Structure 1
């Protein structure tokens, strides 16, 4: 979902390209300095690891190797969260953050090209995630990994946490997607209402023609639907422009050509959603053998907190917790990274064997 939302906003980059390259260079340099890790027990490893038969990009960063390892599953599909590194720099004081460009995304796509991605398909990426986790256990010498699924990454995250409790110390979902095989059509009705109120008759007709049954949608229709869902909501659109596109524009990891490659990865990854319209998280099971948490934007129209809460209420887990992040819709963890970190430290860290803590000022 994140990927299709970003693809709708490429025009936002047009003005800075023509007039603010000097400002961009200054800010990117500042962000690069912010990202330096100089602590004695710190780790900053970035490179390719052979996963699922292809070279895939993995970043491992943190100020103390003894901190819990946190594997973040990015959304999109095809939109790695490495662009948010400067915004989430404080997370690396308390966790070793692993960010992985999934099959078909960004640097992984650039390494072996479109023909070397094998689709990609949902099942392939799910298998890759298990292999990445096992690699991290060996490389970092840990028994279990804290799993954080963000947006479309949370679709993968639920299945990993349910099927492989031996690999994960806890599961945290944010922008949590809940599939119910299409029974709940409230988000579709809400989108129609927003388009009707805005007088977007052409878009309204297109969504009405698609109908609420996601089983019948193509990958391109799902992408178009996500784009309209995001751009028709003022909070999502504002966050997309200021937080998401702003972070990509100022990312020290992405040249101008790299930004283009980032968008190519999102387009290429649309096929991951093929065949997922029948997914039913309730039918798959609400029993989890790991601590289970959902931290959702209170005003999220893409992955509504009401649906996430209904699923959460049915979950049985050793420990569980739910929290709303106010003044946030989709991308809540990156709009308010300080609040998300506080939830990790006060709710999740004690459940995985660490002390209750609060983020440091600054």
Structure 2
């Protein structure tokens, strides 16, 4: 998770630049992105609007160059962080897949529509139920039996539950920035934070993190926010990604204004209550048997959802086909930092499983800076920020 206050601080720093220069740059980028986002193919689709889901209006976007392509339903992260601003970065995905982006309750345009008082119940169970409604809506709207479930960061908490319980609805599970909760017993991310703060000699931040302790279930909401800020701020690669990819996309999206940036941060702050709800989950206890193809594509240097616990869980998963890949020079938001490499994995690993082409179960791959995919013998260690 990326804290809304950290995003606000980054935005303030950017907006402090000379107004005329910033407006000019932003205008040029938004115009270029608008041109890039046009879909003009005869079999294409570009529609978006509110659908009644779970008793409230929720925003759903459907885009793609060819309706005969496989459908991907994205579950965004945050919690409360819409993926709609990344559309220009992932435009190439839409040439090969029909991409469905949904603003969950507590996020994006769904949050903006009726504000915090109109979001209703905000629980993991409610989001899971909403996701099932969205899935059934998309199946009916697009006339498909199953969709690929692409779950990102916090969305992967919901995604794993859907994949376990409803394999009849999904043709494959793809997790990235994958969360693996272990009932509060895993300290990998917390210990990594302490190590980075110690190495950097940041005594004040180290004292604050140490005082919080590793038991997330005992943290107050403001401590969750503090931990997220410390985690992102302690890793140069993650911080660079938040500034350039996350904030950059929010500021230059042709379908979002500056008011939407404020809404984005308010939605994330509102949805922070979902974080503590997920702590008690134990993914091993919930189950490692999946009756659908199972893929995880993780940033090799992810400090928010580190590779170690994800790989341990993946190794125990049973599935008809499963594959794990590392995306080098990437922390969290790996799919958006390197959308070309992520698309390469979707095309070479996931799509064959959808068409019934032979695939090797349990293969581990790494995607390097050139974007090539190659088999490796073991998982590379989480890389230091560059």
- For this structure pair, what is the TM-score category when the shorter chain's length is used for normalisation? over 0.9
1:2 alignment partner in structure 2:
2
Q: Secondary structure at the match of 2:158?
A: helix
CA distance in 1, matches of 2:40, 2:15: 36
Confirm whether residue 229 of structure 1 aligns to residue 224 of structure 2.
no
Q: 1:56 to 1:72 in 2, by over 3 A?
A: same
1:160 alignment partner in structure 2:
162
107, 110, 125: which is aligned to 1:108? 110
Per-residue deviation, 1:238: 1.0
Deviations 1:23-55 (A, max 9, x none): 211210111111010000000011000000000
1:257 alignment partner in structure 2:
259
Per-residue deviation, 1:269: 1.0
114, 128, 131: which is aligned to 1:129? 131
Confirm whether residue 48 of structure 1 aligns to residue 27 of structure 2.
no
Per-residue deviation, 1:294: 0.2
Per-residue deviation, 1:188: 1.0
Check conservation: 2:152, 2:175, Cα contact below 8 A: yes
Confirm whether residue 93 of structure 1 aligns to residue 92 of structure 2.
no
2:40 alignment partner in structure 1:
38
Per-residue deviation, 1:138: 0.6
Q: 1:2 to 1:148 in 2, by over 3 A?
A: farther
Q: 1:10 to 1:170 in 2, by over 3 A?
A: same
Higher mean C-alpha displacement, 252-261 vs 283-292 = 252-261
1:13 alignment partner in structure 2:
14
176, 186, 202: which is aligned to 1:184? 186
Q: Which runs of 5+ in 2 are unaligned?
A: 359-386
Check conservation: 2:81, 2:268, Cα contact below 8 A: yes
Deviations 1:7-28 (A, max 9, x none): 4533343234723102211210
CA distance in 1, matches of 2:18, 2:60: 29
1:360 alignment partner in structure 2:
none
Check conservation: 2:188, 2:308, Cα contact below 8 A: no
Check conservation: 2:2, 2:232, Cα contact below 8 A: no
1:283 alignment partner in structure 2:
285
CA distance in 2, matches of 1:80, 1:354: 32
Deviations 1:169-202 (A, max 9, x none): 0000001010011222122111112122333333
CA distance in 1, matches of 2:8, 2:39: 32
Q: Secondary structure at the match of 1:9?
A: helix
1:359 alignment partner in structure 2:
none
CA distance in 1, matches of 2:252, 2:356: 34
Q: Secondary structure at the match of 1:349?
A: helix
Check conservation: 1:72, 1:149, Cα contact below 8 A: yes
Per-residue deviation, 1:210: 1.2
Deviations 1:130-158 (A, max 9, x none): 11101101111110010001111111111
TM-score by length of 2: 0.89
2:331 alignment partner in structure 1:
329
Check conservation: 2:69, 2:96, Cα contact below 8 A: yes
Check conservation: 2:180, 2:283, Cα contact below 8 A: yes
Q: 1:56 to 1:354 in 2, by over 3 A?
A: farther
CA distance in 2, matches of 1:183, 1:114: 32
Check conservation: 2:179, 2:305, Cα contact below 8 A: yes
Q: 1:317 to 1:296 in 2, by over 3 A?
A: same
Q: 1:277 to 1:37 in 2, by over 3 A?
A: same
1:78 alignment partner in structure 2:
80
Per-residue deviation, 1:3: 5.0
Check conservation: 2:157, 2:278, Cα contact below 8 A: no
Check conservation: 1:3, 1:77, Cα contact below 8 A: no
Q: 1:186 to 1:50 in 2, by over 3 A?
A: same
CA distance in 1, matches of 2:235, 2:276: 26
2:146 alignment partner in structure 1:
144
Per-residue deviation, 1:355: 7.0
